[in-house]
Structure 1
Amino acid sequence: MANITLFSQIISNLDRSVFNKLVKEHGSDKHQKGYNSWTHLVAMLFCQFAKSQSLRDISNGLRSATGNLNHLGVQSAPSKSSISYQNKHRGWELFRDLYYALLQRLGQQAGFKQVKFKIKSKIFLLDSTTISLCLSVFDWAKYKTAKGAVKMHTLLDYDGNLPAYVNITDGKTADNKGAYDIPLVRGSVIVADRFYNDFHLLNVWDSNSVYFVVRHKENLRFDTVKELELPQNRHPHLLKDEIISLSAQTSKAKYKGKLRRISIWSDEHQCAVEVITNNLKWCANTISELYKSRWQVEIFFREIKQLLHIKSFIGTSPNAVWVQIWTALITILVLKALRAMAKHDWHLSNLMAFIRLNLFVKIDLQLWLDRPFEPPPKPHPQYIQGILFKN
């Protein structure tokens, strides 16, 4: 039996020295008013793991831990006014940089690696999701006439299905506009939907030696340069494979090179899906499978919205919203790292639910991850209560 709680053991996976270095770089503990950055992080992670619905829930929840707070590196439970103040004033960039630092360390675990494609290129999946907000409360998040929102533009690493880059903007920012700042890895491939069929953006990627597989719009105007042969008696879902050049003057001015166009039959939607790519060498089936893998980013968005606390917010300022989103991303990263450590085949939803129920239970984390349903060991005979009455 462990002497510290499950939550304390989970928090211990975060490298405190790395966090302290980031705190120093950002100057996040200036004017802290007795509520330092580490306590702020622990409070917001508790908000995510316990799915706390208010500042009062966070404060009371941590207060109920009493003597276990010192194992979390926290001296005392913060008041709701302290959490509110720091969510508004402590820069969200600290939590963003912590996420990327943890991704470098925890994201390298063997359990994160997926083996599906034989290509050597690093695979990234690009998409965005809209998080709705009440415009009367979040008046800065203008989206539609009577609706507010922020948009999370996400570049998902295919290995581990974790964001390699996130850009949070207002809800009005178009998907392709939010993608211009994504970091580009030479020789990698970006898979995206038709909202990223922006030829200026595709030219930027191509100029940086980045491959892309993007669904093209129905009104694409092109000339066929060469039609390629389809594999015989294999992959019947492949309908067409051809080399094309753009014919519209505006498109041609933005992207002058040749493209490859592949038509794929979708059994799920009972229609043909056309994609374009700047890779002229990969086999057509590899490109079709790459586009199918784009669904993983939709699964990721569903996971964070269902499992984590980002559909309602405990603060109304932009900084508070950003802090909550970034701590949600830190939580999903830690969750996936825990699942990679476990011998038990956890579903992410079950793992999150079980952690939530056992946050302050004192049990060995690794043992619990490996054998969650194993009954506790029998007590030593000397501790078994004797029979008080006999017939």
Structure 2
Amino acid sequence: MKPARSELTSFRQLIEQIPGHLTKKLAKKHGVDIQARTFSPWSHTVSLCYAQFAHSLSLNDICDGLGNHGVELKKIRGATPPSKNGLSHANRNRNPAMAEDLFWEVLSHLRKKSPGFAGKNYGGFPRRFKKTINVLDSSTFQLVANCMDWAKHRRRKAAAKLHLNLDLQSFLPTIALVDKAKDNDAVRARELCANIKPGEIVIADKAYIDYEHLYELDQRDVSWVMRAKDNMSYDIIEEFEFTSDTGVQLDCIIQLKNTYSQDKYPEHMRLVQAYVEVKGETKLMTFFSNNFDWAPTSIIDLYKSRWAIEVFFKQIKQTLQLGDFFGHSANAIKWQMWTALLVYVLLRYMAFIAEWNYSFKRAYTMVRAILWSKIDVYKTMINCGTANAPPLIKSVPHQAYLPGFI
């Protein structure tokens, strides 16, 4: 099926989902407008979004790509192509809090515009739970150690880390933190859980275990499920009966044994031990929770649903430009990571309204191929895959296929 034509380039259709007043408002809020003389905050935002959509490899790649389409770029609310030095200076010196606020403002705007905006529910979501399920995790992005002292976390390595609270139902982040990788994940747990409401559920790996924080969540009427550390010391208070054919090996109430840990978490906990299949292998895993009403299989299923966040990180790492960074400073890294998340949301929203039935990666590669073409992205997504494919030629081993010969 032929793609539907449009008067606007595909890039313009996507980028103009950002409300026109937002960049000016946020630039003023964060003092970026004072620093911007010839290269406006809007042009800066458009340039970095283009770098993500086009998967640009360097500053030169961004500048050349936008410079070669200067006429069409100008039509995007007056955006101008950057110079290499101008873009580098903006990434290094402008406050990345503007990019962070822009991401959250755009996400909020799109949700108000389409209240059902949530994409497709994650396939592993345990649907018997009606409350919001928050999954906590982080992902590390390797950097160049000899250029980035601020991000060093080992002798010869440097990395930035993205901490995330992912709403499992919508498969969209509710809180994201960009920081250096050397800090322990548990340090960020409170910030990631700051906006969680009573009755909601938190799931996290053992890296986020902080007994004092878990007790605070319990007092806020927030249910949580964690994977236990191997050296967790506890006394069994009471054991429950269970069905062994579900893989459950132990279901009990425990009390932390260590005095220091007891001071942090004085209440009893629920502990479930079970065999769980992980990447084709069956492993014995131990989980603990503050909920005493759920079936042991529910606790296991909740923790298994945590793997959704790994799918999210895989989506952004395998598609967006988060492998090659355009600057060495903390500000430059944060600008790039926040605009990457912004592009993710813009494309997810377009896929949502078009009822896209394919992967995020396919949506990304399709858009990248038509970025400067005047093709209607929405209609192209709707029609994608509807045309009948040409018949495939079935090859016969050791026989060449030569058109026109019998």
For the criterion TM > 0.5, the same-fold answer is: yes
Say which SS state the counterpart of residue 180 (structure 1) adopts: helix
Partner of 2:382: 370
Partner of 1:112: 119
Q: Which amino acid aligns with 2:35?
A: H
| Alignment check: 8 A CA contact 2:126 2:305 kept | no
Q: Matches of 2:8 and 2:250 in 1, distance apart?
A: 60
Say which SS state the counterpart of residue 308 (structure 2) adopts: helix
Per-residue Cα deviation, 1:346-385 (whole angstroms, up to 9, x for no partner): 211111111111100101121111013567xxxxxxxxxx
The counterpart of 1:64, out of the listed 63, 68, 72, is 68
Q: Matches of 1:132 and 1:359 in 2, distance apart?
A: 28
1:35 aligns with 2:39: yes
Per-residue Cα deviation, 1:21-71 (whole angstroms, up to 9, x for no partner): 222322321120211111111000000010111111111111222321133
| Alignment check: 8 A CA contact 1:8 1:72 kept | yes
Compared CA separation, residues 75 and 130, structure 1 to 2 (3 A): closer
Say which SS state the counterpart of residue 60 (structure 1) adopts: helix
Q: Which amino acid aligns with 2:116?
A: Q
| Alignment check: 8 A CA contact 1:226 1:242 kept | yes
| Alignment check: 8 A CA contact 2:126 2:301 kept | no
Partner of 2:23: 19
Say which SS state the counterpart of residue 13 (structure 1) adopts: coil
If the length of structure 1 is used for normalisation, what is the TM-score? 0.90
| Alignment check: 8 A CA contact 2:126 2:302 kept | no
Partner of 1:81: 85
Q: Matches of 1:237 and 1:338 in 2, distance apart?
A: 42
Compared CA separation, residues 37 and 85, structure 1 to 2 (3 A): same
Q: Matches of 1:16 and 1:4 in 2, distance apart?
A: 16
Q: Which runs of 5+ in 1 are unaligned?
A: 376-391
1:259 aligns with 2:269: yes
How far off is 1:257 after superposition?
A: 0.8
How far off is 1:113 after superposition?
A: 6.1
The counterpart of 2:369, out of the listed 352, 357, 360, is 357
| 4+ aligned runs moved over 4 Å, structure 1 | none
Say which SS state the counterpart of residue 270 (structure 1) adopts: strand
Compared CA separation, residues 160 and 355, structure 1 to 2 (3 A): same
Q: Matches of 1:244 and 1:374 in 2, distance apart?
A: 56
Q: Which amino acid aligns with 2:119?
A: F
Partner of 2:289: 277
Compared CA separation, residues 106 and 265, structure 1 to 2 (3 A): farther
The counterpart of 2:315, out of the listed 281, 295, 303, is 303
Residues 269-348 of structure 1: pairs in structure 2 closer than 5 A: 269-348=281-360
**Aligned-pair Cα RMSD in Å:** 1.8
Partner of 1:388: none
The counterpart of 1:180, out of the listed 166, 190, 193, is 190
| Alignment check: 8 A CA contact 2:8 2:375 kept | yes
Say which SS state the counterpart of residue 119 (structure 1) adopts: coil
Q: Matches of 2:209 and 2:386 in 1, distance apart?
A: 52
How far off is 1:145 after superposition?
A: 0.7
The counterpart of 1:138, out of the listed 135, 144, 148, is 148
1:4 aligns with 2:8: yes
| Alignment check: 8 A CA contact 2:160 2:178 kept | yes
If the length of structure 2 is used for normalisation, what is the TM-score? 0.87
Q: Matches of 1:285 and 1:164 in 2, distance apart?
A: 27
Percent of aligned pairs with the same amino acid: 31
Number of residue-to-residue matches in the alignment: 373
Deviates more, 1:115-124 or 1:349-358: 115-124
Say which SS state the counterpart of residue 4 (structure 1) adopts: coil
Q: Which amino acid aligns with 1:222?
A: Y
How far off is 1:282 after superposition?
A: 2.0
Q: Matches of 2:283 and 2:118 in 1, distance apart?
A: 35
| Alignment check: 8 A CA contact 1:344 1:371 kept | no
Q: Matches of 1:11 and 1:184 in 2, distance apart?
A: 29
Q: Which amino acid aligns with 2:200?
A: S
Q: Matches of 2:256 and 2:140 in 1, distance apart?
A: 32
Say which SS state the counterpart of residue 320 (structure 1) adopts: helix
| Alignment check: 8 A CA contact 1:135 1:146 kept | yes
Compared CA separation, residues 30 and 284, structure 1 to 2 (3 A): same
| Alignment check: 8 A CA contact 1:184 1:210 kept | no
